[in-house]
Structure 1
Amino acid sequence: MTALFVSAVLGVVLTVTSLYAKAAIERRFYRRKKIPSLHAVNVLSIGAVIASVYYSLANMSLHGKLLFYVYFGTIELLLPLYVLFSIWFARYEKKEKKYTTSADKKVLYIKQKYLAHRRQEHYHSKTS
C-alpha cells in the first residue's frame, strides 16, 4: 500500500515538474516553439522512475518480465494524469503570458496586470 501511495504522489510531482522543465526548455532553446516529442520523453521517463520506485518499495523479487509489466502499467495509469496536467499547464501559461500576439508573431498589447505590477515597483524605489 505504501508503494502505491508513494508512486501516486511521485507521479503528480514528477508530472508537474517535467511540464515546467519542458516549458523552460522550449522557452530557452526554441523560442516558444512547441516540441511534441518532449511529451513522449516526459511520459517514458516519468514512467521509468515511478516503476522503479514501486518495484523497489513493493519488495518484488528480481524478474525482468515483471518489471516491464509494472512499467507498462505505470504508463497506462500515468497517461490520463499527464494529459490533464498538460492541458491545465497550457491554460495556466496562456493566462500568465505578459502580452498577446497576432498570427504573424507581433506583439499586439501588453496585459494590464503586468503594467500595473511594473508601476507599483516603480513607486517603491528608494530614489523617489
Structure 2
Amino acid sequence: MTALIVSTFLGVVLTVASLYAKAEIERRFNRRRKIPVLHAVNVLAIAAIIAVSYYMLANISLYGKQLFYVYFGAIQLLLPVYALVSVWIAKREKKAKKYTTSADKKVLYIKQKYLASRRDDHYHSKTS
C-alpha cells in the first residue's frame, strides 16, 4: 500500500515538474509554439519512473512480461492525472498572461492591472 501511495505522489510531483520543463523548452527553443510530442515523452518517462519506484518499494520480483504490466498500469493511472494537471497549468498560464493576442499573433490589448502597476512605479520613481 505504501508503494502505491508513494508512486501516486511521485507521479503528481513529476507531472507538474515535467510540464513546467516542457513550457521552458518550448519557450527557449521554439518561440512559444507548442510541441505535442513532448507530452508523449513526458508521459512515457514519468510512467517509467513510477513503475521503477513501485517495483523497488513493493519489494516484489518481476520477470519478463510482469514488468511491462506494471509499466502499462502506471501509464493508465498517470494519464488522467497528467490531463488534469496539464489543463490546470494551461488555464493558469492563460490567466497570468499580461496581454491578449489575435490569431495572427498581434497584441490586441494589455490587461489593466499590468498597466496600472507600471504607471504607479513610474510616478513614484526617484528620478522623476
- TM-score, normalising length from structure 1? 0.90
What is the CA–CA distance in structure 2 between the aligned matches of 1:124 and 1:2, rounded to whole Å? 56
Secondary structure of 2:105's counterpart equals coil
Once the two structures are superposed, residues 72-123 of structure 1 have per-residue CA deviations (whole angstroms, 9 ceiling, x without a partner) of: 0000011011111111111111111111111111111111122233345446
Q: Which residue of 2 aligns with 1:50?
A: 50
Letter in 2 for 1:74: A
What is the CA–CA distance in structure 1 between the aligned matches of 2:16 and 2:36, rounded to whole Å? 16
Q: Which residue of 1 aligns with 2:14?
A: 14
Does residue 115 in structure 1 map to residue 115 in structure 2?
yes
% identical aligned pairs: 77
Q: CA deviation at 1:48?
A: 0.4
Matches within 5 A, 1:56-71: 56-71=56-71
What is the CA–CA distance in structure 2 between the aligned matches of 1:64 and 1:123, rounded to whole Å? 69
Instruction: Indicate how the Cα distance of structure 1 residues 97 and 64 shifts in structure 2: closer, same or farther if over 3 A, else same.
Output: same
Matches within 5 A, 1:34-113: 34-113=34-113
Deviating runs (4+, > 6 A) in structure 1?
none
Q: CA deviation at 1:25?
A: 0.9
Secondary structure of 1:94's counterpart equals helix
What is the CA–CA distance in structure 2 between the aligned matches of 1:50 and 1:120, rounded to whole Å? 49
Letter in 2 for 1:105: K
Structure 1 residues without counterparts, runs of 5 or longer: none
Secondary structure of 1:31's counterpart equals coil
- TM-score, normalising length from structure 2? 0.90
Q: CA deviation at 1:124?
A: 6.2
Secondary structure of 1:68's counterpart equals helix
Once the two structures are superposed, residues 8-29 of structure 1 have per-residue CA deviations (whole angstroms, 9 ceiling, x without a partner) of: 1101111111111111111111
Secondary structure of 1:73's counterpart equals helix
Superposition CA RMSD, Å: 1.7
